[in-house]
Structure 1
Amino acid sequence: MTALIEGASSLAPVSAGGATVVLAVPLGPVMQLGLGVAVSFIAHGIKTYAEMRSDAGKSVYRYLTAMEKAGVVFRSEIRPTRQALQESE
């Protein structure tokens, strides 16, 4: 157990130089490309989400959603005519 503790204490923390060396290996450009694509997807997703939220807030139909949340029920049934009611009797 003592040897394990001494071995762990001798490890130096990873520095920025060490991270640069990792990216400078032959797979470095591939890793950089992958990270760049991931960052661009995340940035684009955040931008798109913000635009959609903004558009939803400016929608002319937002009052319908507010009314529905308040408990209003919208129905699109066609009421029978008087003639249909008389024929069914």
Structure 2
Amino acid sequence: MADSNISVFPLHRRRKLVESIARDLESKNEEDANAFWRSTVKTILIQLSESGIAPGLAEQEIRTLLRAVLGDIAARSAKLGR
């Protein structure tokens, strides 16, 4: 299958998605958080692939999503004075 030129609404701009993942990650210990992240990424990559998104673009979306999630965690932590 050839790479697609389809673009998606950027994952990192989906505030509910970013905040939900961030909260879930914060509530887990390191090992469980890693497993949760891997599972989440796998699900999202499958969804993007089924939507016709090229693998390279899908991986880029995951990288920017991770930065947004980590930024959300950092912002919440700073607000709480941790």
Fold match by TM threshold 0.5: no
- What is the TM-score of this pair, normalised by structure 1? 0.33
Larger Rg: 1
Task: Give the helix-richer structure, 1 or 2.
Answer: 2
